[in-house]
Amino acid sequence: MAFTAAYWALAALKPRVIAMIGCDMVYPQTGPTHFYGEGTADPLRDDITLRSLEAKSARLLALAAQSNCALVNLSNAPTSRLIYPRAVHTSLNSVRPISFQSSLIERALRAEERANYMVPNGRYWKVAHQFDPEVIDQIDQLWLDVAVNMTINNVLSEAI
């Protein structure tokens, strides 16, 4: 849901910055698991389309940058599945979109087009049997390649 909301905000609101907090997508076996305390992981965690949350966050980060939007993580949790650069709320006026290699983004987008895994009604879980996990993994790897080659405010991301 966080990715869906962020894509909507990116397209509809065209923000300069999207800052996420409390959305690290890390679910330890014991202790607090959510910003509101304890809970269970998203029920879609076994979702075939979410095989690599890091790759999905790389995709959003890259497409946000293409739209001249900086995407950052305001969480102070020690770990995160999101690969966004960390920031503090007082620095949001100075954050800038990352630099990226557009050729790598285009390569990943072409692979998505070739896979043609678009489900017009959005109910992809009803046709998940039509998706090949290996194809999804290959596309995810392309997005991770994009992320590895990004320059995030001159700081290399250690999340990947």
> Residues 31-47: pLDDT tens digits?
776 666 776 666 555 67
pLDDT tens by residue, 48-104: 888 899 999 999 999 999 999 999 999 988 889 999 999 999 999 999 999 989 999
Return the residue matching tokens 């907090």: 21
For residue 154, tell me if it sits in a domain: no
For residue 123, tell me if it sits in a domain: yes
For residue 159, tell me if it sits in a domain: no
The token pair at 40 is: 């269970």
For residue 153, tell me if it sits in a domain: no
Looking at residue 154, its pLDDT comes to 36
Percent pLDDT > 70 in the chain is: 84
Looking at residue 35, its pLDDT comes to 61
For residue 160, tell me if it sits in a domain: no
Domain range for residue 108?
2-148
For residue 24, tell me if it sits in a domain: yes
Burial class of 60 by CB neighbour count within 10 A (0 to 12, 13 to 18, 19+): buried
The token pair at 36 is: 């509101």
Looking at residue 78, its pLDDT comes to 85
pTM > 0.95: no
What Rg, from alpha-carbon coordinates, does the chain have?
Answer: 16
Q: Band of the pLDDT at 151, cuts 50, 70, 90? A: low
C-alpha span between 91 and 107 (Å, rounded) = 33
Q: Is the pLDDT of residue 121 over 60?
A: yes
The one-letter amino acid at 107: R
For the chain, the domain total comes to 1
Q: Is the pLDDT of residue 156 over 70?
A: no
C-alpha span between 5 and 37 (Å, rounded) = 22
For residue 158, tell me if it sits in a domain: no
For residue 10, tell me if it sits in a domain: yes
